[in-house]
């Protein structure tokens, strides 16, 4: 198979920092190339150079064997290269068809021919079997639909090489499967796909070949049939990853007990609808669900950031229902928040100040209302060493830390409270595999020491890897509960979509 596109010895320097160091990739017609690597490995830089957003310091791009240079995205598009960005760029008040033809509108005497636009969108959608409704407003479309609009836009512009940047990060499991099917179909139609991702499961499902980047260098370029996801992970991280093994049930006593909490909303449907659950000592209870089905509200209700309209929240038998956050933390709750920039830190506060939150009134760091900075600094330094947090100093602003490092700081802070109960909400969202491993290990270790954890995650793999028991939230209700041994991705996916499971095993509840 002749290579349609080749990038040879691409390097990009930002000041002293070498973001790409002699990276070479190639992709043939009708081929799916996956580029994988941890955050900061240089995937995005490479694609920016291909798309004309960045100029390479050295290296060559060959298209059909001929060297080309792109001064901007328009150049790249004109040469048949299209990119679907991670964050969609749609006009929400325009119709789907208008969004797709934008920039290349069918016109007659300078007037936009809307019907022609709809017709050509229908045609192209049919050709590539991508389902959209052209007259709908883009803002009314689901995330998956919006992504399909973006893909159609690129196809409409006549792209033969399509770059997809982390396309599955925002999708539900069903939508992911649909997308993977679409990718496969496009490749069969002769389009070349470059898939940027760090999710190895998807790579193994859809890619023909895989190129792995680490620290700006290619650490492996293999055909999918010759590799395994374990091998790929090893190439990404540079060392062997541990397996999270099966474990024994600890059968601890009841730790957290939630009885029928309801949180009303302005609309008709309550945000939380009579949710009851129990977390025992030595147990990780996973909460699965498509985001926006009540997970945020559940977390806020338990941690005290929002009050519930009915129901009771008991921790170790203490009724916390009407208690403020501080009292709940004192009663033995710590909390890794779902959004680290909104809840978990203040961007303009220093690393030290972000780490201090929650400990500012602890006697070991407080002497007659003066903060004992020296004692606290050594504690933070310990965290930095233990979790290998990369921060230039304790005075650095937390907003300047990378997402993964800030997350590790937050995890370290919350674990340091050594509370019997922990809420871990999206504990590894947007962090690289190395940091993820640290965080997962730390959670398992806490569980094994007899503490209870409520794990809320939109990553099914994370839920499945860590949880002892899994509940599924759908529209504010618990629609299913599975033991670790019974849980698998398929069953969870059905429940997450609101479908009632028709597998004749034991059904929900057993929560009281």
Partner 1 sequence: MYLQKKLQKLLKPLVQPFFAVLIGIITGAVAIAIVGEPILDTYIVMWNGAFGNFYFLTSTLARATPILLVGLGVALAFRAGVFNLGGEGQMVLGAVSAALAALYFPGPPAVKLVAALIAGMLAGGLWALLAGWMESRFKVQLLISTLLMNYVAILFASYLVAEPFQDRSGSAALAQTPMIEQGAWLPKLFTGMSVHMGFVIAVFCALLLVIILRFTTSGYEVKMLGLNPFFAEYGGVNKVKVLLLSMFFSGALAGLAGTVEVLGTQYRYVDGFLTAPGFAWTGLMAALLANSNPLGTAVAAILLAALQTGAMGMERNTEVPLEVASVIQAVLILFVSAKFTINWWKLRKKEGDVSGTV
Residues that bind partner 1 (CB under 8 A): 296-297, 300, 303, 305-306, 324-326, 328-330, 335, 337, 342-349, 353-354, 356-358, 360-361, 366, 369-371, 373, 395
Q: Which residues contact 226 (CB under 8 A, 6 or more apart)?
A: none
Judged by CB, which is closer to partner 1: 156, or 376?
A: 376
- Residue 452 CB neighbour total at 10 angstroms: 29
Report, in Å, the least distance between residue 331 CB and partner 1.
11
Judged by CB, which is closer to partner 1: 326, or 490?
A: 326
C-alpha angle 174-439-376 in degrees, rounded to nearest 5: 140
Report, in Å, the least distance between residue 10 CB and partner 1.
35
Report, in Å, the least distance between residue 382 CB and partner 1.
20
Report, in Å, the least distance between residue 476 CB and partner 1.
14
Closest by Cα among 131, 134, 124 to 189: 124
Are 84 and 164 contacting, i.e. CB atoms less than 8 angstroms apart?
Answer: yes
Report, in Å, the least distance between residue 363 CB and partner 1.
11
Closest by Cα among 328, 340, 307 to 430: 340
C-alpha angle 344-271-406 in degrees, rounded to nearest 5: 10
Are 91 and 98 contacting, i.e. CB atoms less than 8 angstroms apart?
Answer: yes
DSSP-derived secondary structure letter, 208: S
Report, in Å, the least distance between residue 264 CB and partner 1.
13
Judged by CB, which is closer to partner 1: 51, or 365?
A: 365
Whole-angstrom Cα distance, residue 63 to residue 440?
A: 43
Judged by CB, which is closer to partner 1: 45, or 296?
A: 296
* H helix intervals, 38-113: 43-50, 73-78, 96-101
Are 71 and 77 contacting, i.e. CB atoms less than 8 angstroms apart?
Answer: no
Judged by CB, which is closer to partner 1: 199, or 335?
A: 335
DSSP-derived secondary structure letter, 350: B
Report, in Å, the least distance between residue 353 CB and partner 1.
7
Q: Which residues contact 74 (CB under 8 A, 6 or more apart)?
A: 52
Q: Which residues contact 261 (CB under 8 A, 6 or more apart)?
A: 272, 274, 275, 276, 301, 308, 310, 311, 312, 313
Report, in Å, the least distance between residue 147 CB and partner 1.
20
């Amino acid at each position: 198979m002749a290579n349609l596109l080749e990038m040879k010895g691409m390097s990009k320097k930002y000041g002293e920092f070498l973001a790409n160091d002699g990276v070479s990739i190639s992709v043939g017609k009708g081929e799916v190339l996956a580029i994988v690597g941890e955050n900061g490995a240089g995937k995005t830089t490479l694609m920016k150079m291909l798309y004309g957003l960045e100029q390479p310091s050295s290296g060559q791009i060959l298209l059909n064997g001929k060297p080309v240079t792109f001064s901007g995205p328009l150049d790249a598009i004109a040469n048949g290269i299209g990119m679907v960005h991670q964050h969609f760029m749609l006009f929400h008040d325009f119709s789907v068809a208008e969004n797709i033809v934008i920039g290349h509108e069918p016109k007659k005497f300078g007037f936009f021919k809307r019907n022609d636009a709809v017709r050509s969108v229908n045609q192209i959608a049919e050709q590539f079997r991508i389902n959209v409704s052209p007259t709908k407003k883009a803002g009314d479309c689901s995330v998956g639909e919006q992504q399909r609009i973006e893909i159609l836009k690129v196809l409409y512009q006549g792209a033969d090489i399509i770059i997809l940047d982390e396309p599955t990060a925002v999708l539900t499991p069903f939508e992911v499967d649909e997308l993977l099917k679409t990718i496969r179909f496009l490749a069969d139609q002769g389009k070349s796909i470059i898939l940027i991702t760090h999710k190895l499961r998807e790579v193994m499902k859809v890619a023909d070949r895989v190129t792995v980047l680490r620290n700006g260098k290619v650490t492996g370029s293999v055909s999918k049939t010759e590799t395994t996801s374990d091998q790929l992970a090893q190439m990404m991280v540079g060392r062997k990853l541990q397996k999270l093994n099966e474990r024994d049930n600890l059968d601890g006593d009841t730790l957290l007990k939630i009885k029928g909490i309801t949180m009303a909303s302005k609309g008709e449907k309550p945000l939380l609808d009579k949710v009851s659950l129990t977390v025992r000592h030595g147990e990780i209870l996973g909460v699965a669900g498509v985001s926006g089905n009540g997970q945020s509200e559940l977390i806020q209700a338990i941690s005290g950031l929002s009050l519930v309209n009915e129901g009771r929240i008991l921790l170790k038998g203490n009724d916390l229902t009407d208690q403020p956050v501080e009292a709940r933390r004192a009663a033995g709750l710590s909390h890794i928040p779902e959004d680290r920039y909104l809840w978990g830190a203040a961007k303009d506060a220093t690393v030290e100040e972000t780490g201090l939150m929650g400990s500012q009134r602890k006697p070991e760091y407080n002497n007659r209302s003066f903060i004992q900075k020296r004692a606290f600094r050594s504690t933070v330094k310990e965290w930095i060493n233990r979790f290998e947090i990369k921060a230039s100093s304790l005075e650095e602003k937390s907003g300047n830390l990378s997402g993964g490092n800030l997350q590790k700081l937050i995890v370290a802070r919350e674990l340091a409270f050594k509370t019997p109960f922990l809420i871990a909400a999206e504990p590894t969202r947007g962090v690289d595999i190395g940091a993820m491993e640290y965080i997962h290990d730390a959670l398992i270790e806490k569980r094994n020491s007899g503490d209870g954890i409520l794990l809320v995650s939109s990553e099914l793999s994370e839920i499945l890897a860590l949880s002892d028991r899994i509940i599924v939230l759908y529209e504010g209700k618990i629609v299913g509960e599975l033991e670790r041994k019974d849980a698998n991705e398929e069953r969870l996916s059905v429940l997450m979509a609101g479908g009632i499971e028709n597998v004749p095993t034991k059904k929900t509840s057993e929560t009281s």
